[in-house]
Structure 1
């Protein structure tokens, strides 16, 4: 396997993993939002 073929393979695997990570983030964001939201509220006068 030449350097160019190996680089193409790694790029493809990286793109696939990035796509799965983005999809997982979009799916998990509504589920994790209550954990991220702060309990502190700011009151206005």
Structure 2
């Protein structure tokens, strides 16, 4: 819930957001967020 809440700005949450953004924007990878537990971010090289 913290990552989705824009009011959360602690370093851990910001790092998780940055990782997701970096993986999403990198054309070398296909990324997906799976609805497992708190969410499982997966990236596969193209």
Say which structure, 1 or 2, has more relative contact order (CA 8 Å, 6+ apart): 2
Higher Cα Rg: structure 1 or 2? Answer: 1
Query: Which structure features the higher share of strand residues?
Result: 2
Give the TM-score, by structure 1 length. 0.41
